[in-house]
Each structure stands twice: as structure tokens, then as C-alpha cells.
Amino acid sequence: MKLGTRGRYAVMAMVDLGLNDGMHPVRLADVSDRQEIPLSYLEQLFARLRRHGLVRSVRGPGGGYLLAHPAHRISIMDVVAAVDEPTQVTRCQSESPSRGCMANRTRCRTHDLWAGLGNHIETYLDGVTLEDVCRGPQPAATHYLDHNATSPLRSEARKAASQAMACAGNASSVHRHGRHARSLIEDAREIVASYVGCSPLEVVFTSGGTEANNLALLGPDTRRVLVSAIEHPSVARAVSSAVTIPVDHHGRVDLEALEAELAHGGGPALVSVMAANNETGVVQPLEDVVHVARQHGALVHCDAVQAAGRYCGAWQEADLVSLSAHKFGGMTGAGALIVRDGVPLAARSRGGGQEYGLRAGTESLAAIAAFGAAVTAARGDDTARLRRLRDDMEARMLDAVPDAVIFSGDAGRLDNTLAIAHPDIDAETMVMSFDLDCVAISAGSACSSGRMEPSSVIEAMGFPSLSRHAVRLSLGWSSTPEDCDAAVRAWKAAHVRHQTRRKTA
């Protein structure tokens, strides 16, 4: 695509105005000098920009032009459109399907290709504002160590999603488009089922982990719900009357307390214990949890959102299991609840009969197709590689700050997760400091209404004084040794900055 001179010059001139402080009008003669655009040409362009309400003129000495709106409210496409510059990439002048670009009035074979490209360009230019261009490229957080928050989309998942997006069908429709959509969903269901070791009939697609957890906790007809003290809020807050089972200082659920609570009686119970914790990575003794629960006739739900795609284990034995695609390279917007055959569950959403009547609503085709592709790709991941990277990074960070605290380090942990606290630097400062050094990590504590709340997980483990200090570094399929080197550098830099501040205070 070749953007014409008018559009390019208009954007350059508008950016010139945007770089001005906005208080003083800019003379077109100055813009002409700086941008090397003929003055007479600029005058014509500005007449159009003014007519479209993008600039206003100030007359008299010291006069010139000002942006008519703040730079963040003017898109590049606004400017290009104002000077009538078509972002035309097809030689076909006609948009009418009946009038083609060939001599015989048919369309050339590549018409739709170029027309699609033209639409993409316009959408792109619409999404970029004058302010974006004036600000210039921002240093991105180029080292991403926040896979437990969300993992970058895998190329396999992107491809599956984009192929699915080409399918117009609703999986509930009986025509060929619908049947195609249905087959993509059923393929993904088979992949998920084979990974978990269950029947495809036991896989209920949801919009993600939160919805799966809510369905699991609210769907069964149980009188008592028991949850561990370090569950994700989508479990912990699902049932207000739930009994909390404490964890030890590694973050592992107290099996004796669980057994004692179940032994109290009081009707059918549901026990919900996660497979691996999102903040510390600690792996729960799920085999024992299932054993204890079954002895007391209780159902077991396992939030395997952080475990799935990373390791297989006893979580697969639970009666209900939650999964989320975006934690291991799928898209947000797809997850699943595994509902083992015979587990009584009532739907929480009413509507169509999708997902065996347990989750009404049209399935998100692209996200589900990407889910299947991400599961297949994740099965080939070398998790030992991540463990080596994590362990080495952890050792170097401890070396630099020997009184730093590692959480759940002596317990079984996910290979990809490191939760660490610098005793003198709070988590928020540490995350910002890493961000300055282009490394993306997370705070254990959550931000709520603009205030940093202490990490409830670290508190439940018995470290209240460190609950505002714990940060999480989480690796994944895209992590490299360079990411870990950058993290160690950022950690050391934060430590040095802190020491310097303390000396000068």
C-alpha cells in the first residue's frame, strides 16, 4: 500500500502541531521549514483540516494553527480522511460487487485480498492517535516473566484461531457452516479430553477459569463447601458460607483440618482445593485430598488453571476440574470445566442447550479452537528447561540479596514459578522497578480500588510481615535465558537503588 503525499504530509504537519505545547499557535511557515513541505501545499491541506474541525486558526501577529482537540482524540485515520486521501490498495475503483475492475466488468482474482488489506490499514490507522506518534516508540517490557497472569499466544493457537475466524458458522446451526464450526469445537474437545484423561462428554467449555470455578462451586447440590485458604478469588468468593481450610507455611492444605471438618458431618460436601497456587506455584497434595474427601462421601473440585498445560497429576482425578486456555498459550475467553460422569451439576446460566445444557450461550469458536491447539503444543513443552532456568535465576537473586525470602521453595512447586520477597522493598515498588528495566513481573498483593492489598496467600502461609513484599516471576513456553538474566539484573538494580536511597535519606 502506498499512502499518497497528501495524507503523509498532513500527518507530518499535524504531528508537528502535536509536538507543540498546544498553548501557542504554530506558523505554517515554520512547519514548512521543519517538515520540508512546500508552504503553498500546506496551506491547501490546512484549509481541509480546518474544515474537518481538526485544527483551528488564530489570526494576527503571533497567529497560526492549533490542534482543535487533544492529540489523543485525533486518530491518524481522521487526518488522512480529512485530506481525502483514500487508502486505496486495490486498483478496483468500484465497491459495487456487480462492477469489477477487469475490462469485462468482472473482478480480478486478487480483489478481495487487496480490499481486505485496505480495511486492515484503515483499522490500524484508526487505532493510532497523534499522541501515540508524538510520544514516539515506548520501551516495551521486552522480558515477559508473567505467564501465571497470562501466557503469550502461541503461534499454533493463533493459527487455529484465525482459521476458525474464517468460519462464519454458529456451532448450533445445521447448515454446512454450522457443521464446520461444530467439528472445530468437537476436535478441541477431544484434544482437551485426551489431555485430561476423560471422555469428551465430560468436557464443558466455558469462557475461562473464573466461570468454570463458579459453575463448579455453585452447580452441585451440596450443603457444605470447604475451600483451602489460598484459593483464587473465583473460588474463595464463589460461596460466602464456605468453610476455609488452613494451609501450612509452604502453602499446602492442612489435611488433618480438612478431615476434621469433613468428619463433623452436616450433609453432602464439596471440597475445593487448587492443583497449584498462582502466586507461589506450590503443588497441593491432591491425591490425599481426593482420598480424604471420598472417605467422607464428598465431591472434589480442583482449580487446575495454573497446573493444566504445565504438569499432569492427581488433579486429573477430581470430580470437577477447571481449566483456562490463556494460562498456557491459548486465548482469553476459553476454559473448561471437566464434569466427571455422574457428578450432579445444575447449570448457572439459562438459555440455549449448549455444552450439554450446562453452559448456555454460543461457544467462542476461535478461542476454543486455539485452546485445543495450545493444549497440543503445551504437551510438547520441555518443563525441565523451565525448572533449570527458574532455579538458576532464583540462586542468583538470593546470592545478590541473601536475606530475600523464597516462598514454597522447599515444597513441590510448579517448575515455572518463583515467589520471592525483598524484605525492604514492597512489591509495588519492585514491580515498577522491574518495569523500568523492561521486565514484566507481578506483585503477590492485589491492587483493589487503587490500594495495594497484602497478599492473602502469603498471609495464610503465616508470613504477614512479607505479604506486601512478595513478587512473582513466572516463566513459560516463550521464556529464554536472556529473560532470566534481565530479571536478575533488574532485581540487583532495585536493590542498589534502594540502598542508595537509604544512604541519601
From the list 191-199, 298-306, 387-395, 410-418, the region that binds ligand PLP by CB under 6 A is 298-306
From the list 61-69, 209-217, 284-292, 411-419, the region that binds ligand PLP by CB under 6 A is 209-217
Q: Which three cell numbers stand for residue 408?
A: 514454597
Residue 370, SS3?
helix
Q: Quote the least distance from Cβ 302 to ligand PLP, whole Å.
A: 10
d(CA 322, CA 227): 14
Selection from 380, 389, 399 nearest residue 310 by Cα: 380
From the list 301-309, 398-406, 416-424, 430-438, the region that binds ligand PLP by CB under 6 A is 301-309
Strands 299-303 vs 269-272: parallel, antiparallel or unpaired: parallel
From the list 185-193, 303-311, 396-404, 470-478, the region that binds ligand PLP by CB under 6 A is 303-311
Q: Quote the least distance from Cβ 490 to ligand PLP, whole Å.
A: 23
* 376 contributes a contact to ligand PLP by CB under 6 A: no
- Tell me the one-letter amino acid at 307: A
Site string for ligand PLP, 72-91 (x = CB under 6 A): --------------------
Between vectors from CA 249 to CA 245 and to CA 250, what angle results, nearest 5°?
95
Q: Quote the least distance from Cβ 406 to ligand PLP, whole Å.
A: 20
Q: Which three cell numbers stand for residue 2?
A: 502506498
Residues 216-245 that bind ligand PLP (CB under 6 A): 232, 234
Q: Which of 77, 271, 305, 404 touches ligand PLP by CB under 6 A?
A: 305
> Which residue, 233 or 344, has its beta carbon nearer to ligand PLP?
233
* 364 contributes a contact to ligand PLP by CB under 6 A: no
Q: Quote the least distance from Cβ 229 to ligand PLP, whole Å.
A: 14
Q: Which of 85, 261, 303, 459 touches ligand PLP by CB under 6 A?
A: 303
Q: Which of 20, 306, 416, 417 touches ligand PLP by CB under 6 A?
A: 306
d(CA 232, CA 303): 8
Q: Which of 208, 219, 372, 444 touches ligand PLP by CB under 6 A?
A: 208
Cα dihedral 91→94→100→103 (10° resolution): -60
Site string for ligand PLP, 318-337 (x = CB under 6 A): ------x----------x--
- Tell me the one-letter amino acid at 184: L
**Residue whose CB is nearest to ligand PLP in the complex, by number:** 209
Contacts of 311 (CB under 8 A, 6+ apart): 276, 283, 383, 414, 415
d(CA 321, CA 337): 5
> Which residue matches cell numbers 455444552?
355
Query: How distant, in Å, are the alpha carbons of 122, 176, 365, 369, 389 from that of 166?
Result: 20, 14, 10, 12, 39
Residue 265 gets the label, from left (phi > 0), alpha (psi -120 to 50) or beta, of: left
> Which residue, 90 or 151, has its beta carbon nearer to ligand PLP?
151
Q: Is 467 exposed, middle or buried (0-12, 13-18, 19+ CB in 10 A)?
A: buried
- Inter-residue contact 154 to 374 (CB < 8 Å): yes
> Which residue, 147 or 495, has its beta carbon nearer to ligand PLP?
147
> Catalytic pick from 302, 312, 438, 447?
447
Q: Is 114 exposed, middle or buried (0-12, 13-18, 19+ CB in 10 A)?
A: middle
d(CA 61, CA 152): 55
Q: Which three cell numbers stand for residue 115?
A: 480490499
Q: Quote the least distance from Cβ 79 to ligand PLP, whole Å.
A: 38
Determine whether 447 is an active site residue: yes
Q: Quote the least distance from Cβ 151 to ligand PLP, whole Å.
A: 11
Q: Quote the least distance from Cβ 9 to ligand PLP, whole Å.
A: 46
d(CA 266, CA 283): 29
d(CA 482, CA 485): 5
Q: Quote the least distance from Cβ 440 to ligand PLP, whole Å.
A: 15
Q: Quote the least distance from Cβ 324 to ligand PLP, whole Å.
A: 3
- Inter-residue contact 101 to 108 (CB < 8 Å): yes
Query: How distant, in Å, are the alpha carbons of 276, 427, 494, 501 from that of 505?
Result: 41, 21, 16, 6
Q: Which of 274, 401, 418, 443 touches ligand PLP by CB under 6 A?
A: 274
From the list 52-60, 206-214, 337-345, 355-363, the region that binds ligand PLP by CB under 6 A is 206-214
Site string for ligand PLP, 395-434 (x = CB under 6 A): ----------------------------------------
- Kindly list the residues in this chain that would bind ligand PLP in the complex (CB under 6 A): 208-210, 213, 232, 234, 274, 278, 303, 305-306, 324, 335
Catalytic residues, which ones?
447
